[in-house]
Amino acid sequence: MENENLLLKSIIASIKGGMAILDVYDSDYAIEYKKDDSPLTLADKRSNQKIFNELETTGIPILSEEGREIDYRERQKWESLWIVDPLDGTKEFIKRNDEFTVNIALVENGVPVLGVIFVPVSSMLYFAEKDTGSFRMSDSGFTKELAELSEQDQKPEILSRIIEHSERLPLKTRKDDSSCTIVGSRSHSTPELEEYVATKKREYRDVEFISAGSSLKFCLVAEGKADIYPRLGPTMEWDTAAGQAIAENSGCCVLQWDTGIPLGYNKENLLNPYFIVARTV
């Protein structure tokens, strides 16, 4: 399947997963707990199933947060794979603050080459592909139309329509070297992050800090609304792969905190090192 079709496929998968989440979000729902005591809702499961139904037809293996137990001896043979978080920001979902997303990325040889982030409550869609760029679409009516597309309806010209309905990222570029806008986690603040912000306040005349949930932090930097996203706390590969693709293709870098090299994927240990997302334009 050509990459254009893979991008369309992942966009539709993310929207269908997001719609499944909203069905649960608007109802009473139960919360379970995973082995690591993190919450799992019915929305995770339903979104995951919708996404798998779409992506399985591509023949590319899928690594999802809900399928994290796949043995590395099997995964290391995968040159290409989907990395999926069917509901990123479960804590935001439970708090009902609307800041949760669906994340889908295509990774080739450890590098995310395609990424989609869908925000179910607002119907905001972010997507990116290597050599094509990053985009944001906010047409909720068109989003609902896409959610109804069957496998047979998913024709290449639909991707052109999606791009026509979208804005290319960044929406604005960095011009003021005397100020800095930092975005950080709403639910996972750390002493290291507080120290980093304090350092930037000594470095810049004006420093603004924005709190956001889930992978929306990547999107804010990709849009140009924030300059830096320092992640000085634990994340997993499915938390970051889609966001990295969107950020990098909008003129940002996503680098490991200690080494300064890009985050890599499908590692034996799926835990990410600390990292920073920063605008380069």
Return the domain boundaries, the chain: 3-169, 179-279
What pLDDT does residue 175 have? 67
Could you tell me if 41 and 29 are in contact, meaning their C-beta atoms sit under 8 angstroms apart? yes
Torsion of CA 102, 103, 106, 111, to 10 degrees: 180
Helix (H) or strand (E) holding 182: strand 179-185
* CATH class of residue range 3-169: alpha beta
Segment 203-216 mean pLDDT = 94
Do the domains at 3-169 and 179-279 have one common CATH topology?
no
At 2, is the pLDDT very low, low, confident or very high (cuts 50, 70, 90)?
A: low
User: Residue 28 pLDDT > 90, yes or no?
Assistant: no
Instruction: Compute CA 223 distance to the chain's CA centroid, rounded to the nearest angstrom.
Output: 13
Residues 6+ apart with CB under 8 A from 151: 57
* CATH class of residue range 179-279: alpha beta
Instruction: Note the pLDDT tens digit of each residue in 149-161.
Output: 988 888 889 999 9
Segment 163-183 mean pLDDT = 90
Instruction: Note the pLDDT tens digit of each residue in 67-79.
Output: 778 999 999 999 9
What pLDDT does residue 1 have? 45
Instruction: Note the pLDDT tens digit of each residue in 230-256.
Output: 999 999 999 999 999 999 999 999 999
DSSP state of 72: H
Segment 99-123 mean pLDDT = 97
CA distances to 52, 104, 138, 217 from 226, rounded to whole Å, are 33, 22, 19, 8
Residues 6+ apart with CB under 8 A from 215: 85, 88, 89, 101, 103, 117, 239, 240, 242, 243
| Structure tokens, 36 | 């690591």
CA distances to 61, 72, 89, 241 from 76, rounded to whole Å, are 11, 6, 28, 17
Segment 124-131 mean pLDDT = 96
Segment 168-196 mean pLDDT = 86
Higher-confidence residue of 32 and 181: namely 181
Segment 21-32 mean pLDDT = 84
Q: Which of 177, 121, 88, 128 is nearest to 3 (CA)?
A: 128
Could you tell me if 230 and 191 are in contact, meaning their C-beta atoms sit under 8 angstroms apart? no
Q: Say what the pTM is.
A: 0.94
Higher-confidence residue of 93 and 112: namely 112
Could you tell me if 98 and 92 are in contact, meaning their C-beta atoms sit under 8 angstroms apart? yes
| Structure tokens, 10 | 């992942």
What pLDDT does residue 36 have? 67
CA distance 191 to 251: 29
